[in-house]
Amino acid sequence: MAFDRKIPGDLARSLAGRAREQQQDRRETSSAFRRETFTLPRADAREKARELLNAFPKQAYMTEIESWRELSDGRIEFTMRRLPTAD
């Protein structure tokens, strides 16, 4: 049973190739939606989310809050996702 001897450069090239493929896959699958990330105080975050949901209704743009989290300083970070145009 023979083992292939790999040098660090082989490993680096292999990992870089995988990273490029994953980035390309992400771009192809997420290109249909427009995403915007905001970091705002809680009250401002609610207002901004309502503003975007009113401007881009879910029925036409499939608008939704994709993810959100509360930061240690009390601000809210959230990502809104929507289609760029309505049908």
Element (H, E) at 15: helix 8-30
Closest by CA position to 53, among listed 61, 28, 84, 30: 61
Quick one: average pLDDT of 60-64?
A: 92
One-letter identity of residue 78: F
Distance CA 35, CA 78 (A): 10
pLDDT value at residue 82: 92
- Asked if the model's pLDDT at residue 8 lies above 60, the reply is yes
What's the gap between Cα 34 and its chain centre?
9
- pLDDT, position 7: 79
The contacts of residue 74 (CB under 8 Å, 6+ apart) are: 41, 42
CA distance 39 to 45: 7
To the question of pTM greater than 0.95 for the whole model, the response is no
Q: Using the 8-state DSSP alphabet, how is residue 2 labeled?
A: -
